[in-house]
């Protein structure tokens, strides 16, 4: 297991830090499609969250933990301050066959899926990441017409595939 940290903890906001750890498969520098999609959602959501949290003096520290095929069962996990997001918000974890991981590791592989808001996802959607972050910080997501669309997710997707 290899951990890459980015960005570093801000000393002035030591008390107000959200540590997000993302665990994903890394096979010779490549990751599976599911983990890739989760990573894209996570990086976009961190940028969005940081705009909300900066004025509150809360920093985000991302820890990326790269897993080899022996730890693939832990792949595509997100922890907030050391707690799995499925323990923070209402997510159900399941697994199914993952062709992408199977190709990368050279044998049949079953990976995590989640049930969130009644839908099954191979990746972790942005809305789940955002809700878990806000709950981990004991913050209620503020709503305003500028930030929220008809879905209430706040990303401006109008119910598109991001959430």
Sequence spans of domains, the chain:
2-136
What residue ranges in the chain does DSSP mark as E strands? Answer: 2-6, 17-25, 59-67, 77-80, 83-84, 92-97, 110-116, 119-121
Q: Within a 13 Å sphere around the CA of 146, how many CA atoms are in the beta-carbon half? A: 0
- What tokens were used for 124? 């972790």
Residues 6+ apart with CB under 8 A from 112: 34, 73, 75, 76, 77, 93, 94, 95
Least confident span in 13-22, 84-93, 151-160:
151-160
Given this model, what pLDDT does residue 14 score? Answer: 44
Given this model, what pLDDT does residue 143 score? Answer: 42
| Cα 4 from Cα 104, distance rounded (Å) | 21
Asked if pLDDT for residue 6 goes beyond 90, the answer is: no
106-153 per-position pLDDT tens digit: 999 999 999 999 999 999 999 999 999 999 999 876 543 334 444 444
The distance of Cα 26 from the centroid of its chain, to the nearest Å, equals 16
Asked if pLDDT for residue 3 goes beyond 60, the answer is: no
28-66 per-position pLDDT tens digit: 999 999 999 999 999 999 999 999 999 999 999 999 999
| Overall pTM surpassing 0.85 (yes/no) | no
- What tokens were used for 98? 């993952």
Per the CB < 8 A criterion, the answer to whether 96 and 120 are in contact is no
């Amino acid at each position: 297991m290899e951990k890459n940290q980015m960005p570093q903890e801000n000393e002035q906001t030591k008390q107000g830090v959200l540590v997000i750890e993302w665990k994903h498969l890394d096979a010779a520098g490549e990751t599976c499609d599911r983990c890739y999609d989760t990573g894209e959602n996570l990086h976009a959501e961190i940028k969005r969250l940081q705009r909300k949290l900066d004025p509150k003096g809360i920093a985000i520290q991302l820890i990326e933990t790269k897993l080899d095929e022996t730890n693939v069962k832990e792949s595509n996990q997100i922890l907030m301050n050391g707690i799995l997001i499925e323990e923070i918000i209402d997510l159900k974890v399941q697994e199914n066959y993952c062709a992408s991981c199977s190709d990368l590791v050279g044998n049949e592989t079953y990976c995590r899926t989640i049930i969130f808001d009644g839908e099954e996802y191979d990746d972790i959607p942005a809305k789940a990441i955002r809700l878990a972050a806000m709950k981990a910080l004991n913050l209620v997501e503020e709503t305003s017409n500028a930030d929220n669309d008809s879905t209430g997710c706040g990303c401006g997707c109008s119910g598109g595939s991001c959430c």
